[in-house]
Amino acid sequence: MAEEKQDAEIKIKEAARRVFLAQGYEGTKMRQIAEAAGVNLAMINYYFRSKEQLFNSIYAETFSQFIGQVVQLINESTPLEVKVWKIVDRYCDFLVENPLVPGFILSKQRVDGGEFFKKLDVRGVIENSVFKKQLAEETEKGNIRSTDPLQVITVILGSLVFPIMAQQVVSYVGGLDNKGFREFMEERKQIIPEMIMAYLKVK
């Protein structure tokens, strides 16, 4: 019985994630989720009391995927340049495979004013990260210029998220098909770290 309950919850959440990602909170009806999951509305209401509760559950899991990899990488004890390359590489792969996630994350942020980010203390995570300490140490040694870690992280995220969210425009301007767009994103794995390190290094 417990296994059946878990399977039903997983099925509902997987269907809800697909619908919410495609249509957002406001555009999604519980009936659509029920149809996508192959269950009735009563079953969804049994496991999740409301659309809001189901959405918040999906959002929390999706956000953890979205930002969790970056948090893990900025706290690794790898050299600074290697770390920048790894963050770009890992995050680029995630976004290419999950192109609807950035819009989904930002849609809730616009509604709740970033309350979810505050609850997770994202600022504290960056402030106490190994990455920030490495930047400070390299600056003190005279190897790089003094830089706010948020600037570096924002450059990485923005440089990857924008082309994903504007894929149709980028593909049109570049005359790219799906394969071509993936190759374009692979090329960004090389360009972005080089740009960041070129800026950081003292001439």
Per-residue pLDDT, 118? 73
User: CB neighbours of 116 closer than 8 A, spacing ≥ 6?
Assistant: 59, 60, 63, 108, 109
Phi, psi of 127 (to 5 degrees): -60, -35
Sign of dihedral through CA atoms 84, 85, 86, 92?
A: positive
Structure-token pair, residue 38: 């192959």
Task: Name the nearest CA neighbour of 153 among 106, 103, 77, 83.
Answer: 83
Measured CA distances, 147 to 86, 127, 153, 179 (Å): 19, 13, 11, 36
What proportion of the chain, given as a percentage, has pLDDT over 70? 92
Q: Report the chain's terminal Cα–Cα distance, integer Å.
A: 66
Sign of dihedral through CA atoms 17, 109, 107, 74?
A: negative
CB 151 within 8 A of CB 65: no
Per-residue pLDDT, 203? 65
What is the mean pLDDT, run by run of 10 residues, along the chain of 203 residues? 68 90 85 89 86 86 79 89 94 91 78 68 84 94 92 92 95 96 97 96 76
